[in-house]
Structure 1
Amino acid sequence: MKFNRNGDIRVDVLINELTPLRAKLADKSASLLTLAGLGYTLYDTARTAGADWIMWLAAFAVPLAFYPLTKWSMRQQFKRQQRVRFTKEQFQMGSWPFAKRFDRQLDHSFTLPPHDKREDEKESIQMEVLRGRQRGKLVQPEKYYGKSFHLVFEHLGERFDITEIYGEREAKRALDRLKSIDQVIDSITGSGSGTPLSPENEWFVIAGDLPPNKEE
């Protein structure tokens, strides 16, 4: 939380999460790297004179054992960053020169609807599973959009997407963070109905009332 030269509050937030498309690309990249590693270890073992069954077992097992770590690492690398900024008067999405600014004094909220492509993916997976059964294969495609959400800023009833987030826990964490910051700024500046941070913030001054006492 920062204050500019005029004493106005400013909070910059960096949302660093996977989108469903980036999660899918990260997993495919991890699979390709694992296959490449497996191919290398098998090739290297084949060139080793006197390779026994333990070496061949290791050649298979080591790349596969490292797959979960490779997958996690690739997902970290593929995360997308989205910046937002809060001030007393404005909420800003993105960075210059593509930033969008909205008046925070007007009616607004943060929501988390399911991803728009969730149903399309569901139908696609059902068809893929059906084709697999017809070929006598067990197919279990990974759900990406089915586990994803839109982080949305609603302003005067209009929807503005901040970012897409893969993972319910990650999406709710981002939503709670933005809501909390929004409420705290309202509480500090008295510009909204956020949770009071001190007794004097609980006063609602009307005509003829004395302002709340403040300690010197």
Structure 2
Amino acid sequence: MEFERTLGDAPTRERVARSILELGPSTAAVLAERLDLTPAAVRRHLDHLIEEGAVEPRTPRVYGHRGRGRPAKVFALTEAGRDRFDQQYDDLAVQALRFLAETGGDEAVMEFARRRVAGLETRYREIVEERPDVEPSVALAEALTQGGYAASVREIPVGQQLCQQHCPVSHVAHEFPQLCEAETEAFSRLLGRHVQRLATIAHGDGVCTTCIPTVSSPAPANERLSQR
């Protein structure tokens, strides 16, 4: 299955898989509505993707009061499913980081990881300079999306949750968690508050999630930059 083709030309099964990749674990009903397909057609393609090991059904987490009946299952990409999409890493990256760890130690790897997120910070600054009133978390999600992370922000009872549906370096980060740690440091620095990483694709979760706690009267993103 080729995942490089455009959405309009892609086979329906690829569209189903890419929708899950970009927007996260989804129910069959949501996929059907999103892709303008019948639920029966979506389930047929999901069955094939499950057989191929590209997708797996999961019981969704329920926050707050749980209603009557079982929640509809959601379908998430497996590690093998993610491998079908272009990944911005290869064996050379892993080998290079292993060499760096052997010769310079863990701190050298961490310093590399911190330098790597400089691109994210540059994209963030460009967004807030173009749109001074943008909410900081939204600007961060847009900067991440530009870098291939398919990120979004949603409201939760304690603040906001930053969701990254895709991680272009997940296999590398599985062996070198410093990449995730440096990202989290950058999130805190750009948002001007402590954030907490709750889950990562690199360690088997379906989505990278970060909790952004509520603060009183948050400043616009451009003001945060001017205070640095």
Which has the higher Rg, Structure 1 or Structure 2?
1
Range into which the TM-score falls when normalised by the shorter chain: under 0.3
Structure with the larger RCO, 1 or 2 (CA within 8 Å, 6+ apart):
1
**TM-score if structure 1 supplies the norm length?**
0.25
**TM-score if structure 2 supplies the norm length?**
0.24
Structure holding more helix per residue: 2
Structure holding more strand per residue: 1
